Amino acid sequence: MSTTANLGYDVFVNEPPPQDGFLPNGEPKRFSPMASTLIYGGEDAVLTDPGMTEDQADVLGDWVAAKDRNLTDIFITHGHGDHWFAAGLLAERFGARVVATAGTIAQMHGSLATRPLLWDKVYTGIPPSSVTAVTVPDNRFTLEGHDLVMVEVGHTDSDDTSVLHVPDLGLVVAGDSIYNGVHMYLGQSAVGGFGPWRDAIDKIEALQPRHIVCGHQNKQLDDDAGRTIAQTRQYLDDADELLRTETTAVGFFNAKIERYPAYLGRLVLWVSASSLYGVREHPEGNPAQIILNSWL
């Protein structure tokens, strides 16, 4: 928790939903923990990325309710369903508006379309969802007079991602642009490489945040902006190096675990490795299909 004058924020990291199957090293598959941020003033509050399943929404909703603020808005950083399929439940419970950039809203429709092919095959308990998010003028809204700015950063772990900048807190809520102690989802960089992601990190650094809340983080770690930015860059550099030196997806998976033994989210690491090597090994194939199959 961090507070400045009458503005503060607090972070809730959820439990990954249950899942069938095993990774190449024999570990059970398990999704990554995801973080929601509550930015609050004396009376009102704004929530980010409310999660995916009904169970997650219940637990998060109780946490929000205990803060005893009027929830005005729910901001979605990017289109991936793990960040927003439960948004409708929270919006209804608190009478809040759902907001996002136009790019994110388009990506949310895309995630909804792939839901039966991917998300519902892997996870139970995802509520019926529809895209109710709206844009705001100049990607800017306020909380008790403090600016909250949606900054578009382009392709990171998916297309058209954004972050929420709260200048008065020195805070960036980064979604999946920056990671913190959790394996990064590299699958959607299988075509095009990590250049756009590195550009996005530069854009976030230029905002000069002191704190970064990452969409996927180990809750034991702090939210130091300099450290999380440096580690996110290093993870991409290591991925580029291992793509040159490792000849198989399993080799990449094992080498990453050796370099990052404490990182959570090895399912996502395996999906990333399968996608990167699958696309490389099947240049005639459809990358979107190869990436989707890597999840199943």
Instruction: Name the residue nearer to Zn ion (CB basis): 29 or 80.
Output: 80
The CA–CA distances, whole Å, from 293 to 30, 174, 289 equal 17, 27, 6
Instruction: Name the residue nearer to Zn ion (CB basis): 176 or 246.
Output: 176
Name the minimum Å distance from CB 22 to Zn ion.
Answer: 22
Name the minimum Å distance from CB 178 to Zn ion.
Answer: 12
State the Cα–Cα distance between residues 70 and 214, nearest whole angstrom.
Answer: 24
Residue facing Zn ion at closest CB distance = 176
3-state secondary structure of 35: strand
Name the minimum Å distance from CB 175 to Zn ion.
Answer: 7
* Residue list 75-104, contact with Zn ion (CB under 5 A): 80, 82
Name the minimum Å distance from CB 104 to Zn ion.
Answer: 13
Beta strands per DSSP E along the chain: 2-4, 7-13, 35-40, 44-48, 70-75, 97-99, 140-143, 146-154, 161-166, 171-175, 211-214
Question: Which CB contacts under 8 angstroms, 24+ apart, belong to 221-224?
Answer: 221/180, 221/181, 223/11, 223/180
* Residue list 37-66, contact with Zn ion (CB under 5 A): none
Name the minimum Å distance from CB 176 to Zn ion.
Answer: 4
Q: What phi-psi label fits residue 139: left (phi over 0), alpha (psi between -120 and 50 degrees) or beta?
A: left
Name the minimum Å distance from CB 5 to Zn ion.
Answer: 32
Place of tokens 């550099």: 237
State the Cα–Cα distance between residues 182 and 269, nearest whole angstrom.
Answer: 9
Beta strands per DSSP E along 32-145: 35-40, 44-48, 70-75, 97-99, 140-143
Instruction: Name the residue nearer to Zn ion (CB basis): 80 or 165.
Output: 80
Instruction: Name the residue nearer to Zn ion (CB basis): 143 or 239.
Output: 239
Instruction: Name the residue nearer to Zn ion (CB basis): 33 or 41.
Output: 33
* Residue list 256-285, contact with Zn ion (CB under 5 A): none
State the Cα–Cα distance between residues 250 and 254, nearest whole angstrom.
Answer: 6
* Residue list 205-224, contact with Zn ion (CB under 5 A): 215
Name the minimum Å distance from CB 54 to Zn ion.
Answer: 18
Name the minimum Å distance from CB 35 to Zn ion.
Answer: 10
Instruction: Name the residue nearer to Zn ion (CB basis): 8 or 16.
Output: 16
Instruction: Name the residue nearer to Zn ion (CB basis): 82 or 246.
Output: 82
* Residue list 144-163, contact with Zn ion (CB under 5 A): none
State the Cα–Cα distance between residues 100 and 63, nearest whole angstrom.
Answer: 23
Instruction: Name the residue nearer to Zn ion (CB basis): 219 or 282.
Output: 219
Size of residue set near Zn ion by CB under 5 A: 4
**Residues ≥6 apart with Cβ < 8 Å to 160:** 78, 79, 101, 103, 104, 106, 107, 152, 154
Verify binding: residue 176, Zn ion, rule CB under 5 A: yes
* Residues found near Zn ion in the complex (CB under 5 A): 80, 82, 176, 215
